[in-house]
Structure 1
Amino acid sequence: MKNKRLTYLIAIIMTILLIAIGIGGKIYMDKKSFNDEMVKVVKSNEAKKVYERTIKNNDPKAFTADGVIQSYEVDYDTVKHNPMGGIMVDLIVNGDQNLIIDVILDKNNEGILRNSAGGTSSDLDDLLNRKRE
């Protein structure tokens, strides 16, 4: 009698464990798929145009000898979903981890990718302000 109960209990526990592992795996795969899709958008040519427009808005002489901003790279480790909509990502300016432009990629009503918000790090802001003076 005890053996039957123990076998029955083990079967129930194993079933619950398998269901939990299945659900956990599904959640993980959905999240990974969502993150992969965000990275795909962040790496797109359309996003690159948004980055360069954003940089030019902050530094009209960017990528020239007179500009503060000479180069940028996308920090893929910072890609995350914005709770208000869109994808948040940081741009590292001139290879300096202290010079950051925050971008929130979002699509407007026409489906065109744009920077809906963001800003610059205080170090980059200081550099840009000094250049303007």
Structure 2
Amino acid sequence: MASGEGTAQAAFARFVRRAIDNARMERGWTVTDLAAQTGIGRSTVFRWLAGDWHDYPELAKVRGFCVALDLPVAAAFRALGLPEAGSALPRRGNDGPVEADVRAILERLADPAVSVEEKHHIRDLLRYLAQRPIRQPE
């Protein structure tokens, strides 16, 4: 691993470790299961865990890892030191109320201080809203 606890390698390794620990606790997945579900090879997962990389991990693999584990991609990108790369919405000074609400939700999902239970609740509510039939005016 690169020297120092503040490096992108160390931060991303901590992110991956938390994701693996959560997958083990919540889904009963081993690293082999995780690799199969995310489409990322076990050796890649172990390199990420060890912080053993010099060039940034392939962002498509990072996205796939996050999607399979229902994690915010923005959090992974922040761990890599790429805060804007993970933003779903570009920051603009003239954001309307909807954009501001969406940004607040994304930030809460990416916040490591927010509990796993709260993040699940937010995601469940978002899934419900996304799948709910649109009401037609009468």
Greater share of residues in strand = 1
TM-score category of the 2 structures, normalised to the smaller one: under 0.3
Question: Structure 2 length as normaliser, TM-score?
Answer: 0.26
RCO higher in 1 or 2 (8 Å CA, sep ≥ 6)? 2
Question: Structure 1 length as normaliser, TM-score?
Answer: 0.26
Structure of larger gyration radius: 1
